[in-house]
Amino acid sequence: MDTMFFRKLYRDFTKPPPRPSISGLFEEFYFSCSVSIWYKSYLVRDLAQVSQCFVDKVLHCKCRAGNEHEFLVFEILSSARDCTSFVVLTDILRVSSNQFKSVISHPVSLKIYSEILSRRSDDRHPALDRLEVVVKGTYNELDIIDKWGKYDILRTLTYAPGSMRLSADQLCALLEAVKTHGNDINLDGIQCSWYANTIFLALQDIFLGCTVVSGRKEKKKGMHKGVKVSIEGGINGLRQKYSQQIENHYACRRQCEIEIERTRHETERLRRIREITDERGKVLAKLREGKRRVDFNMRMQHFVGSLDATREAIQRE
């Protein structure tokens, strides 16, 4: 008996706390979507909690084995700091020509890569942003790792205690701003490198107080097939676009709040209609019951009167 008691006590003590349930970050299942969908369809549902989940670490990664695809991994802590969600940001390369009419995911083959570099400079084919969200410690985490195969961590960005760090909704706004920023630049052939590098620089520029630790192979960033690709555009004007995106998110949030309030009022109106209808039904039922009783009493009175008249007639005879 004592042994069972201590086993249960140990099991309860060592059992990990339940994971938070926050839309767009701490979901039961792994999911993948574009950045704009991430905000409009997920984060905005639970914005009060999302705004309390902050980026703790950012990894700039590069695939090995000839793929040379670059992507970012954001580690986001829950508001209680007891659970971590991985947000893997990448892109889907849009290839459009007489030979290739499809949308493909990185890594890019050498043949397609050569086709991209041979395009005219004014022939733009911007990438489609894509992110994957999974909770750390779940079996889905392994699926993401296996998907990219072997890769190197080029550099790591962390935040010192007490420093200004961005929340999950601010991160989403920054990613959308960078995407808009990229529309002004011809990204053919350097899409993933430009995307990852620009976001990394923006994080250092807009949110001060971070620390960047270079990895052993950091010099490989922007390298494709042994050639260093110039990552143009930088972050000039990105602060303004980020601020504008924050305003856009606020407008979207306000619109969502208006819709929620409208839905709440409509639900309340329908509830009141149902209550009034139910109350009216009860009143009508009572009236019908009362009418039945009145009719019954009248019929009884008529019946009793008939009996009295019959009795009097018999007595007269």
pLDDT in tens, 223-276: 777 777 666 556 777 888 888 888 887 787 777 778 878 888 888 888 888 888
Q: How far apart are CA 243 and CA 257, in angstroms?
A: 21
191-206 and 238-316 are packed helices; what angle lies between their axes, rounded to 10 degrees? 90
Q: Quote the pTM value.
A: 0.66
CB 74 within 8 A of CB 151: no
The predicted pLDDT at position 190 comes to 61
Q: Which residues is 58 bridged to in the sheet?
A: 74, 157
CB 125 within 8 A of CB 183: no
The predicted pLDDT at position 156 comes to 93
Percent of the chain's residues with pLDDT above 70: 71
Average pLDDT score over residue span 88-117: 44
pLDDT in tens, 61-90: 888 866 778 889 999 998 887 888 888 887
Choice among 71-75, 125-129, 169-173, 181-185 with the minimum mean pLDDT: 125-129
Choice among 117-121, 172-176, 231-235, 260-264 with the minimum mean pLDDT: 117-121
